[in-house]
Amino acid sequence: MKEDGVILEVSGVSKIYDRKWVALRDLNFHVRRGEFVLLVGSCGAGKTTLMRLITREESATAGTIRVAGEDVSTMDRRDIFRLRRKLGLVFQDGKLLKDRTTFENIAFALKVTGARKKEISKKVMRALTMVGLAHKSSCLPGQLSAGEQQRVVIARALANKPILLLADEPTGNLDSEVSSGILDLFGKINRFGTAILLATHDANLAKGFPHRRIELVDGQIS
């Protein structure tokens, strides 16, 4: 990590598809350690594209993205998994394994990243406690509400203690009351020191948000 505490640094990033469709144009911003940044923009503004560039699901056409000082844009494909271990990812479609319990879903994420068996149980319960679902550790996803399922996804993203939590429309499928609860949960997580970059199109959600906001309009920061 850089000494100035910058965890995510986006410099001059552009993404152009098929040489003509400009999804992102010359983005410049950063997220510091422990910071909570809201990325607001309407559908098609380029929020998801930016998230995909940060996680290196796609490569930027121009510019550099640094996560904890490491240049993501030039990272070898074989090393991308190391980058993802540093990040916690929460998406609208949380992707939980339907045939595994809440506990097993989170344990699975730890297991596949090489966590020791002894640590897994402790880490899973800590993450579930953080999202307030410790009592539902043996429930299958189908037995949980949409809001609870999203909390499990957040717990899974948290379990590995990421340096940066990336959330792309985490409340997209939820009603306003549940959404507000999820946003509160992110606030709580942030207070424990995890940096968060949360993308949303929901202007109401952004209202009264006490942290820094970046507005994205047609692929540019306005």
Give the interface with other proteins as residue ranges (CB under 8 A): 78, 81-87, 89, 95, 97, 108-109, 111-114, 156-157, 160
CB 164 within 8 A of CB 32: no
Which residue number, 89 or 183, has a Cβ lying nearer to other proteins?
89
Which residue number, 47 or 156, has a Cβ lying nearer to other proteins?
156
Which residue number, 71 or 175, has a Cβ lying nearer to other proteins?
71
Which residue number, 23 or 159, has a Cβ lying nearer to other proteins?
159
Going 153 to 78 to 45 to 214, the CA torsion angle's sign is: positive
Among 49, 10, 1, 56, which residue's Cα sits nearest to residue 30? Answer: 10
Tokens of 204: 């109401």
Q: Which residue has the tokens 């271990």?
A: 85
Which residues make Cβ contacts (< 8 Å) with residue 122, sequence separation at least 6? none
Among 148, 213, 144, which residue's Cα sits nearest to residue 185? Answer: 148
Min separation Cβ 95 and other proteins, Å: 6
Min separation Cβ 182 and other proteins, Å: 19
Which residue number, 25 or 148, has a Cβ lying nearer to other proteins?
148
Give alpha helix (H) positions in the chain. Answer: 47-54, 80-86, 102-111, 117-130, 146-159, 176-191, 203-206
CB 55 within 8 A of CB 166: yes
Min separation Cβ 205 and other proteins, Å: 23
Tokens of 147: 């809001």
Min separation Cβ 152 and other proteins, Å: 12
What whole-number distance in Å separates Cα of residue 71 and Cα of residue 74?
Answer: 6
CB 175 within 8 A of CB 200: no
Which residue number, 136 or 156, has a Cβ lying nearer to other proteins?
156
Min separation Cβ 81 and other proteins, Å: 5
Which residue number, 63 or 170, has a Cβ lying nearer to other proteins?
170
Min separation Cβ 168 and other proteins, Å: 12
Among 220, 166, 175, which residue's Cα sits nearest to residue 195? Answer: 166
Min separation Cβ 207 and other proteins, Å: 30
